[in-house]
A and B are shown apart, each in its own frame.
Chain A
Amino acid sequence: MFRNLLELYQYRALLWALSMRELKARYRASVLGFLWTFLNPTLSMAVYGLVFGFIMSSSQERYPFYLLSGLLPWICFSTSVLGGTTSISDRKDLLTKVRFPAQVLPAYVVLTNVLNLVFSLPLLFLLAAVYGDAPSWHVVLVPVLLALQSLFTLAVTYLLSALNVAFRDLQHIIANVMQLAFFLTPVLWPLKDLDGKRFGLELSGAELQQLVVLLNPMAALTEAWRDVLFRHQTPAWQPLAGVVAVTFVVLWFSAAVFERRREEFAELV
């Protein structure tokens, strides 16, 4: 695992150049260009806001602000995972024609989306200002959350990209699983509304909420992002410690799978 990350560091020039190019390429041919970085999440927020905030009238106050503070990290995670899954299987041109470090491919997809998240954060501060809200000192924790989420995403993406080379059905499965995961993560709905009684469980609301955060690292991360950006409070450290533990286990496992399979990439893509 550490060797893999170390190699990634050695190829940082390549990683950086590919990410920069991807960011530039994403909107190059379009008229509005870089503005789409802000327009895309804004439009998503408008759609979800209309359905869940207005039509279904969520109990959450300042719903659009609440929504966007969870939506931006989620978009980063889901585009990384979806793009990362096919990042190796789609790059026959690079893998079979030059000696190319395969782990750079999923890594640059993640890096590109993390940078995109950073660039879209001003949008959130703008929306906060509309609600008369100013960022608190808690924003210094943003880099910590970015690093945590990047590593967790990288771990998931490593595994999926390596498996998708030999098993191409995975990319379609993942597309659907990610949709389910989106609704199981408290992005659209407030976590505090969750109550075990409604599901016939012998759990109090707080216990069920803890369980969700424990089982779904993205739920823990989403709540942490909300604490920092929306509620202006320090996130509880226990769920984040859980995320760190899960990340290391998954990263260790993914890196092992990746290392075992990387020799066959050039032959199978």
Chain B
Amino acid sequence: MSGLDAIVLERVSKHFKKRSKRNEMTTLKSEVVRILKGQRKVVEPAQHIEALKGVDLRVPRGATMGIVGRNGSGKSTLLKLVTGIYAPTSGTVAVNGRISALLELGAGFHPDFTGRENILINGIILGMSRAEVKERVAEIVDFAELGDFIDEPVRTYSSGMFMRLAFSVATHVDPDILIIDEILSVGDEHFQRKSSAKMNEFRQSGKTILFVTHDLSRIETWCDSAVWIDGGRTRMVGDPRQVVTAYRQAVSAAEAEGERLGHSALSTPGLALPQVSAPPVEAVAPAVQLVDVRLRDGLGAHPSAFSAEGALEVLVDVQLAAAARCDVSVEVATVAGVSLFKTQFAAGELGGGAHTLRLSLPRLGLGEGAHVVTATAWSGALPPQAQSKTLVVAPHPSAFGLLRPEHAWSLEPRGDIAPAPAPRAPEATA
């Protein structure tokens, strides 16, 4: 193993024995009935579920790698193999460093014991020594912010409080490698921010992180690389933005297929998504090739979070093989897929070569959080090409919701119901 890799998987397969045939468990009764009927025992070829089918993966030391994929595609099995909970059926799993897995929070918590008592046992279960736990108890208690509840039995906790305590213990293990399965959305708004900050601290201190999430914007903003597991195989490894884009395209394609045929790969858990018809390279070369989508603020910078009050420029880079008509659209949607705004532009006849189409919004006007910006380019009736980018809008102390239109507050004199005055200058704070 190279000293630079924290985790190396080589041709890793994992099969699970299927324990029962459909609707037919082997019970004593069924066995007796079978013997009475004089039937031979049906020797069937062993039934297996192939959760992983030969996965190769390297996670460099200090890197943050995100795993995307559908439910049942093998992501969690992969994490359990890396953690050592499962042994691979074939292939090798090599791990270089102390590992801490946040697959489920609160392993071994006992309801009758106080939060403080559970910290000790949970810490030891997670791999700390007794002395290490004792040393960090104060820190863990501080982080969980449970107040006097820390000395109450855990069974009296709300589920949010339970998760906060569990998360606090799990993140104070101080591992070299952190394995996380969909648990970052723990607790209330405030605690989520705290846990995000804690994760950032892990990344900055050079720990290796491997995590599964369905929050694709987090993969794009946090990860150094991403891997897409599909039907038990690695479908794509590389730049998180590219992987997420490809994954989104495949899901949309499967949904479109589902609409057309009434069923799709999406209706069977774990089935691989259909191949997205890659741009037909030679036969029907697309007249318009969508090269890149770039998001800029008014100053030409690419901030990690945009201000709602500032400008947004969407630059769509296209490449035309020859002179052709070109149409472009840009859509802004929530991560959940609710369309907020879509605009279309007919650029008309463009000459061959590279072109950039620019969409300018002088004021962004969106609420805080992650949004998905999708640009689509096409020519005439030929199939369109699309690319998505995540747009993160910075929070604002006094405005909420999906949108933030220009607005102003004022105090009106009593009884004076005059028509509203002309709006004042928009809020300068952002």
Contacts and interface: CB of A to CB of B under 8 A. Distances in A.
B80 A266 contact: yes
Given A21-B110, A21-B113, A99-B101, A94 B125 contact: yes
Contact of B83 (A21, A93, A99, A263): A99
A28 interface: yes
A263 B17 CA distance: 13
A267 B125 CA distance: 19
Nearest to A14: B124
Interface stretch (B84-92, B266-274, B375-383): B84-92
A99 B84 contact: yes
B107 A94 contact: yes
Contact of A28 (B84, B108, B112, B130): B112
Nearest to A99: B84
Nearest to A91: B108
A17 B121 contact: yes
A104 B108 CA distance: 13
A168 to B, nearest CB: 12
A51 B293 CA distance: 88
Contacts of A95: 85
Contact of B85 (A21, A28, A29, A99): A99
Q: How large is the interface on A (under 10, 10 to 19, 20 to 34, 35 or more residues)?
A: 20 to 34
Contacts of B99: 99
A25 B112 CA distance: 7
A96 B80 CA distance: 8
Interface in B91-141: 99, 101, 103-104, 107-108, 110, 112-113, 117, 120-121, 124-127, 129-130
A29 B130 contact: no
A98 B80 contact: no
Interface in A42-96: 93-96
Nearest to B109: A93
Interface in B166-223: none
B16 interface: yes
Given A94-B125, A263-B87, A267-B86, 13 more contacts: A13-B129, A28-B113, A29-B112, A93-B108, A95-B85, A96-B80, A97-B104, A97-B107, A98-B103, A98-B108, A99-B84, A99-B127, A100-B85
The 6 closest A-B pairs by CB, nearest first: A97-B104, A263-B87, A99-B84, A98-B107, A97-B107, A266-B85
